[in-house]
Structure 1
Amino acid sequence: MEFVGEHLKKSRLKKKIDLKSVAEELNIQLDLLKRIENNDFSDHLNLVYLIGHIRAYAKFLGLNENEVVKQFKDQNLIDKEDLIEELPRPLERSNFYFATKTFSVFSILLISFSFYFLFIKTNDIYPNYSILPNLPESLESEIEEIEIQSTLRNVNKMQSEDSVNEVSSLILRDINLNDDSIVNASSVIA
């Protein structure tokens, strides 16, 4: 069985293509292409990149790239498990962010509740209840009578004040008229 590197080299020489032109066309280092053709797959090469370069080289030469890659994997006993590297677990986040967010939320809630109870609910601390106790129906009519009499007294008081104001305004008007007649009589004499 022919190695992959030898197969690629024979195909390139058969088509009379220079290795340097292949390197320039595929943007692959010339040294790497030489190592692929010599089947020198050292451990420091990443297998994923190496398979990609082999695939591109085979496609450039017009070969079936899937077959060439499969042959390479078979010769080097590469399983899919070897190609998949174990991904490192993400670093655990510190609980600092969680603690600060929790503290912020509780602080906002505390400030909101204290503002509500101190400034908005002040009237509810001392509720105003009705001063009247539960009275029997027999006393309700007497209370209404007392309220009506009190209201009538206030109305009479206001009316008497209004009549006093009217009388005083009439007296002042009479005094002003008398003063005007005295002034008119004295002005005629002079």
Structure 2
Amino acid sequence: MEITGQILKENREKAGYSINEIAIATKINVKVIQAMESGDKSQLPALTFLRGFVRTYAKFLKLDEEAIMQTFYEEMGTSKPQKIKTNCEGKDEENPDSLIHTKSLTSRYFAVAGILALILLIISIRKVVDKYEKEAMLPPLEDIREIVQIPEEMEQSEDKTQEPEDTKSLSLTEQTVAEKENKKVEAPHLPSEEQEKLKQEVMAEIQANKQNLPLKEVPEKVTQTSIVENVKEVKKEDKKIATETPGELVKEPIKIALSPQELIIEALDNTQFSFIIDNKDNFKISLKPTEVHIIKANSSIVLNLSDGGAVSLTHNGQRRGVPGDLGRSMKLNFP
């Protein structure tokens, strides 16, 4: 095995590959590759496994497989295994129709299974969509109607309060004019001097009332109309706010940001490691060569490796390869 191992080692070094890279690509243990290259028979597996390892190693390095296997057979004293024809193969060759029939049955089974899986997937997606549609339904519009109706009632009550005030001011002016007219009617029964005095007093009072009434009434009307207009504008803004807020709440749903993590661990040798998912759960796993373990988390993964060169990692679909050296422990955080 020394000659075959030396040939494989020289070609590996020419290609620029390390032992860890060969182990990841060919799924062969690192210790087995080292034993193959050094020719240490005590560390080599059985001949049946060793034959397959040598062939895959030579195939990866793009060497002549037949030449490598010939030197291997000469060195190890074994010969190529001869193919033994069994009765089953003879029967299958005699009856090709049976093979076609079995293949058609298996293809039908696979087609039926695929259709059933597709139906189940559609049903599950539909349930999820219905769930989110129910959660996103609008609240009842009773509160909005109450908010819209209250300002209208306020306007009607203010109009009613303004009308009596206007009628009171008109009634007061009518009473003063009527009293003065009564005085004018009663004046002819008095002497001429007294009548003139009364006329002068009445005229003075009428002029004073004419001058005072516009000055007192106009500012009140102006202030009342300005107040009413301001109140109406405020009510219109309240109506807009009341009608717009439910729509804005629906248009801007709350989004929860998540960063899902997926870590695929492939063992190259017997190894142990522990990991923490989302800073909560702590697990400890041991793997054998060529075994794979998948870890999934919502936000973070903390990985503690006892041997950094005994595993190969793939994080979120990106192959990271061997993270460290053989025999050295290390701690990794994802992301």
Do both proteins adopt the same fold according to a TM-score greater than 0.5, normalized to the shorter chain?
Answer: no
Q: Does 1 or 2 have the higher relative contact order (CA < 8 Å, sep 6+)?
A: 1
TM-score after normalising by structure 1: 0.39
TM-score after normalising by structure 2: 0.23
Larger radius of gyration: 1
Structure richer in strand, relative to its length = 2
